[in-house]
Every structure is written in C-alpha cells, then in structure tokens.
Chains A and B, each alone.
Chain A
Amino acid sequence: MVGVFVGLKWRLVTSRIRATRGGTRAALIVGWCLAVVALGLVVFGLVLLRSRPDAAVVAVSTLFSAQFLSWGLAPLVAFGVDETVDPSRFALLPLRPATLQRGLLATALVGYLPVANLVLLLGAAVALSPRWWMLLLAVPCAVVQLILCVTFSRALSTAMSGLMSGRRGRDLGVMVGFAVFVLYMGLSWTLNRAGSSVGLQGGLTTVGRSLAWGPPGALAALPSRVADGRWAAAGIGLLTVLVALALLWWWWAAALRRSLTTVPSTTEGSAPAHASASGTVAADVTGTMWLMVQRDRVLAWRDPMRRAPWLIVAFLSIVWPLLVIRGAGAVFGVVLAAVLAGTQAGNQYGTEGSALWLHMVAFADRMRARGEALGHAVFALIPGVAIVVVACTVLSVIRSELHLLPAALGVCLGALTGSTAMAGYLSARVPFAARQSRTSMFAGSIPGQKARTAGAGFAIFGAGVAAAVVPGLLTVLALTTNPVWGWVALVVGPAVGVAAILLFTRAQARTYLARTPEILAVVAVGDRS
C-alpha cells in the first residue's frame, strides 16, 4: 500500500511539470537550477563547518530546530498546495487509519522539498562528523530528523484540517503568513543592526546550546555526545527524540481518526456583522464613490486577504528604508511602500471575482461606473496617504533629515497617486482573475493569465515611477539649488497624480462599460482556483 501512495504522490508531482509548457517550463527549469545552486552553497557551508566541531553542533542544533518549526508552519500558510495534506481527500478509501498514516508518511517524503531537506540534512550530517566514523551516527540522525519534521507537520495539519478547509482557518493562515514575514524582517533588521557584535554572537550560542536539549537539537548533538563519551547526555537526548517521535505519531493517528469520522463545522457561527446605518445612495458620481469606499472598507476589514497587503505596506514603509538605505536620504525609500499602496487599487474587477455580476445587473451607466472607479481609488488613497505621511515624518525625524521631508512627501505622494491612477485604468484594460478559494497565501496567478498578471503589475509600478519623475527632478533642484523647490515638489507631485486619477477613471469607466461581459469571463475563472 505504501508503494501505491508513493506512486500517487510521484504522479501528482510530475503531472504539475507536464502541465507546464514552453516559457513556463523553461522558467521552472531555470528556477530549479538556481535553487540547486543555492542549496549547493548552503551544503558547502555546512561541510566547511566540519572543521569547527563546537560551532557545528550549535549551528546544526539551531538549523534542525528552525527546520522543525518551519515544517510545522508550512501547511498552515500553504494548505492546499500539496493535495495529500488534506486527509478528507482519503476519507472514502477503504483503508485502516494505520495503513493510511503510513501511506501519508510515504507521500510526505516524496517531492522536491523533502529531497531538498534531505540533501541539506546530509550536509548537516557531514558538519556533525569531524571524524568520519561519526557519519554512521550522524546520517541516521539526519534521516530521523526528516521523519520527525514530517510527522510534526502532518500531525499539526491533520489536527487543523477541519479548520484549514474552512474560511476562518484560511484567514488564520493569512495572518500567520504575515506574522512570519514580520518575524523574518525583524530578525533580519536585528542581525543587520547588531552586525558582528560579540554580545549577539554570545546570545545566539546560548540559544543554540539550549536548543540542543529539544528533540531536533538532541539529534544534532547526539554524534558529538557519543564521540565525547557523554553517555548520560546522549541517552537523555535519544530518549527525548524517541518520546517526541512516539507522541507526534500518536497525535497524528488520533487526529487522523477524528478527521475521518467527524464533520467539520467551522463555517458555522460567523462573526456578528451589523447592518450599515449609512444613507449614502449612488444618485451621482460622489454618492457612488462614497458607497464604494464604505463597502471596500467593510470588506477589507473583514477579509484578511485584503487586509494583509495593507499591513505589509505599512510595515515596509518604515522598515524597508531603514534596512536598505544606510546613508542619507532614507526618507525617499518610502517611495516603494507608496507605489505598493497604489497597487492596492489594482485589478478591481478581478478582486470581485464572479460577484462582479451584482454590479453588472445593477447599472450600466457611465456615472456609476466612474463613481465605482473613483471609490476604489479613494479607498486606496486614504490609508496610502496616511502611511506615506507617517512613514516620511518618522524616517526624517529618526535620520535627522527634516529638511528633506517636503520633497520626499512630494515624490512619495506623486508615486502613490500615479500608481493608483494606472492601477485603476489597468483594472478595466488588463483584468485578471484572483483566486477566490485561496487555499494558500502564496498561491500565484491563475494558469493561463500569468503574463497578463505580470504585465499589469509592471505597468502599475512603471506608472508610479513615471509620476514620481517630475517631483523627483524638483527634489534634485531642491538639493542642488534652493530648498524651496522641495515645497514645489510637494505641491506638484500629488497634483499630477490626482489629475491622472481624474483622467484615468474616465477612461476606466468607458473601457469597463464597453467590455463588461469580457471582463466577467476573465475574472470569473478565479472562482475555480
């Protein structure tokens, strides 16, 4: 039976490759080659550690623990990417839970990621073996580490499968994804700031040593403990691993039995939503615009997939310039967040998915179409302007560059409004489907629409950059001649962008009304993904 499961997973993996064609397949192969090179470099680094046994044990303990944690988080963030993670897909097969569990373990070990992990672990095994005979211990430890990770990951995802197949679980996954992103950026920032400080190194060593007593760390420390004759420590470590493995296996079995015999009820009892008391009516362009802003606000507040990008933009607006721009002018780094904020007004009809029909049967006049376009733009501009103003002010205070503030605000607001204008127009000109079932935070564009998605993305970025050119030139003047040009940039930047929005929304409304059925046909594809 294990062979059948391995065969199934192998077919799933290879069918994804067979489904790709031409350029996509070439890009996939190039991506793999790059990944193999990156993996090779990491393994090479690990092998070099072999000459420093103390550092190797600390580093590999940390690596094993991080790997263990990552395997736990992966299905939470990307549930649905691997079809064999969801046990409900196997519920109708005439299999005993024990057989199914062994089969699922086998499927979890087949694929690119398990193979890449195994290669990494074998590199770690070499690092843990300053004497070659220790490989006899280190290699089995590496294999057990992979089984430990897989068992933990599958136990956790099975226990949460009911939740993850529902709306709330996927919402949770999005927020966990955001938390992981913030954690990564925070860690990267801390390490950057600390540089080679001895204190930090000492702290990391202490953490690494403590981790050596946890199940993954104990596996990393086992060969050195045996080699040094620290039999008690080796015994305790081995016992920790065996107990952890047994407990995880038992947890997985229990969760599997539960998920196969009970019906999830996670979509019941939704968060209470209260009827809107607003009296705004789409009687004119302004009324339609505010009606749209109110609706977008409610949807963004309730939908993590719409909220998460705003959190990322707000976070990047301050952290990214601090991380990347060490010298003067960090405040201009906010321009990236400004363009990203503008992109939030992008693919307006794709975001609605097939629910666009509700608008299509409600109106077909230019007044409402323009009000709708303006509403989406204003909804992106309100938080966008707030983020840009706060980030520019905070950064100019932190870096003592208050004299650059007016020009930076001009550049950033110009980029924000410019990208918002282009994002809105392209929503009608180049619509693309957005995945509506959202089984994964990292699921990419819809097959067959990748070029369209990428094209729209580049064009929006390009428009943001183009809109920032005039205030950018005025900034150069401010820095080289007279600071008053900074204030001119502050007026000209947003003015150009707002004019572009007013102009582009007209074109957007015209295009939308002329192509509505075709737009629906394109964006409705997202329902099935």
Chain B
Amino acid sequence: MCEHPPSAAPGLPQYPGAERLVESVAGQALALRGLTKVFDGRTVVDHIDLDVPAGSFFGLVGPNGAGKTTTLSMVTGLLRPDGGRVVLAGVDVWADPVTAKTRMGVLPDGLRLFERLSGSELLSYIGRLRGIDAATVRSRAAELMAVLDLADAGTKLVADYSTGMRKKITLAAALLHSPPVLLLDEPLEAVDPVSARAIRTVLTRYTQAGGTVVFSSHVMALVENLCSHVAVMSRGRIVAAGVVAEVRGAAPSLEDAFLHLVGADDAGMGGLQWLGSSSG
C-alpha cells in the first residue's frame, strides 16, 4: 500500500512506505529512495536507492548517458522526478524545498550564469538573495575569491570568464551560505590544472570541516584520489556503491573495477587491423 508523507504537496513524487523515511536516514547527508526519471518512455534513472554518509567525499561515476546529471538535477530540485524521494540533510527536497535550499550548495554542469554581472557582483547578489546581510556577504565573497584565485577577476564580467573561472565562481556561490552538503556536477570538467588544484583544495578543506561533497566525474584517478566513497552508475542504475576500497575490490585500480562493472572491459578492442598496415 502506498503511504504518502503528510507534508508532501499534491503532485510530488512519492515512495511506498516512506512516512518514516526522514527519521530512518538520520546521519546520512543524502538518501535517495526509488528515484526515477523517464524521458519519452525511456527510463533514464531507474529506481535508484543510495545513501551518502555525512562528512563523506562522495564520487558519482559512470559513462556518458548513465544518468548522473539527471540524478543530480533531481536531487538539487532542478528536474522533477517521476518517482521516489530525496532526503538531504534531514529534509525531503521535494516536500520542503524552502528548507532544502538552505542546506545545499549546487554547481550544475552546462548552465549559464548572470553573464553581465562581474564575479563579485554575482556573489553579492546571490548572497543577499539568500537573505545574508551585505557585510557578511562582502567578507565571505572576498575570502572565497582570494582562496579560489579569482581576486584579480572580481571586476571582470562573468561573460568573459574562462571555463575554469566559471566553475570556481559557481563553487564560490555554492559555498557562500555555508551549506552542509555540496552537490557538484562535473566540477573539474575542462578545467585547467591550476584551477583544478584550487577547487580540489577548497573541497578537501570543506569535507575536513565536516561538510559533505557529492560530485560526478568521468575521471577515475581523480575519484580514487579524492573520494572516501563512490557510487558507480550504468544505464540509469547504481551498479556498485560504498567505500572506495570496497568498490575497487581486487581490481588493480578503480578504473579497472569501473570498466568491469559497466561491462566495458574490451572497450576500444577489435577491428582496425588495417590501421598502420599501409601508407596509402
């Protein structure tokens, strides 16, 4: 029998037997139950269950089209799920979005910013929109920009920022209200090594201070190096999840374990015998 949480608004995605879900996942920074999304009859995210422990550095990995961005979009409230529930820092994201917004910092992939604001103006605007007083916003923004090596670009319009700078200013906006959970979609994709180092350092400091980072990536070496926990997605499902060492198992590296899990051991093999056999 389907029981709905009493606080849920009509039309929100539900999960069977979920009235005690929020209490049962206490201690988890993020808990997904039966999360589902269907586009044009194709199930892109297929009844996902996932627990992200508080204080963990959690990597969500998977090949292109596995459903990572769709999952994170549903967790952050940018995409409405067709089923299931998302509990973030003790709050149901879709039943109580007002509180949920205060507990998450978000860095999506491929979405625009307010391009004609400068970096400092963007942070000032977002901070004040969140209701933080102007003096606090100013001091936090200045610190974040200095740590992320954006101090010199503070007066430059976001429209003129490089990819790395855009990721960094978005991360600064996500950290501004000091949320307990950060949700980052490909934060290091197409970022130069200097910016990548700055982002990694800030994220490591954030988890050391008790925050939880959930981020998606293709780069296994990065996930293996940075994360305490990992979940592997393939074709809309979680095929493995847990502490990195457990998921890696006996495989020589996380990448080998990943390729085995997603059934791509023989990727790039077969055919091409003609390659290099003639000059013509």
Contacts and interface: CB of A to CB of B under 8 A. Distances in A.
Interface of A: 167, 267-276, 278-283, 288, 291, 295, 298-299, 302-303, 352-355, 357-365, 368, 436, 516-518, 520-521, 524, 527
A364 B128 contact: no
Contacts of A280: 128, 134
A364 B120 contact: no
Given A298-B117, A363-B101, A275 B131 contact: no
Contacts of A295: 114, 117, 125
A147 B77 CA distance: 56
Interface string B110-141: 11111111101100111011111111000000
B121 A298 contact: yes
Contacts of A273: 117-118, 121, 155-157
B101 to A, nearest CB: 5
B108 to A, nearest CB: 6
Contact of A520 (B78, B114, B131): B78
Given A268-B160, A270-B160, A517-B80, A281 B118 contact: no
Given A281-B134, A520-B79, 6 more contacts: A288-B129, A291-B129, A295-B114, A361-B77, A364-B77, A517-B77
A518 B124 contact: no
B48 to A, nearest CB: 18
A77 to B, nearest CB: 21
Most chain A CB atoms below 10 A, which of B108, B111, B115: B111
Contacts of B108: 357
B130 A363 contact: yes
A302 B154 CA distance: 16
A527 B129 contact: no
A354 B159 CA distance: 14
B126 A282 contact: no
B130 A357 contact: no
B173 interface: yes
Contact of A527 (B77, B112, B155): B112
Contact of B159 (A270, A283, A353): A270
B101 A279 contact: no
Interface in B216-256: none
Contacts of A360: 77-78
Interface string B53-96: 00000000000000000000000111110000000000000000
Most chain A CB atoms below 10 A, which of B78, B128, B132: B128
B134 A278 contact: yes
A276 B126 contact: no
A436 B115 CA distance: 10
Nearest to A275: B120
B98 interface: yes
Given A355-B113, A361-B77, A524-B111, A275 B160 contact: no
Interface string B9-52: 00000000000000000000000000000000000000000000
29 contacts: A267-B160, A270-B159, A270-B160, A271-B157, A273-B156, A275-B124, A276-B124, A276-B125, A280-B128, A281-B134, A282-B129, A288-B129, A295-B114, A295-B125, A298-B117, A299-B116, A352-B114, A354-B110, A355-B111, A355-B113, A361-B101, A362-B129, A363-B98, A363-B130, A364-B77, A364-B97, A364-B101, A521-B79, A524-B111
Contact of A275 (B77, B100, B126, B155): B155
B104 interface: yes
A349 B134 CA distance: 25
A327 to B, nearest CB: 44
Nearest to A291: B128
A191 B124 CA distance: 51
A274 B132 CA distance: 20
B106 interface: yes
A270 B128 contact: no
Given A282-B131, A299-B117, A355-B113, A362 B157 contact: no
A361 B129 contact: no
A517 B80 CA distance: 6
A517 B131 contact: no
Contacts of B100: 364
- A-B CB proximity, top 6 nearest: A364-B97, A273-B118, A279-B134, A275-B120, A354-B111, A270-B160
Given A276-B124, A361-B106, A436 B112 contact: yes
B131 A283 contact: yes
Given A518-B80, A520-B78, A358 B157 contact: no
B275 to A, nearest CB: 22
Contacts of B120: 275
Given A270-B157, A273-B118, A281-B131, A358 B126 contact: yes
A364 B104 CA distance: 13
Contacts of A352: 114
Contacts of B115: 355
B129 A363 contact: yes
A504 to B, nearest CB: 22
B28 to A, nearest CB: 21
Nearest to A288: B129
Contacts of B77: 360-361, 364, 516-517
A276 B137 CA distance: 12
A273 B123 CA distance: 14
Nearest to B137: A281
Contacts of B133: 279, 281
Given A517-B77, A517-B80, A353 B97 contact: no
Contact of A302 (B113, B134, B157): B157
A362 B155 contact: no
B121 A275 contact: yes
A64 B193 CA distance: 56
A368 B79 CA distance: 20
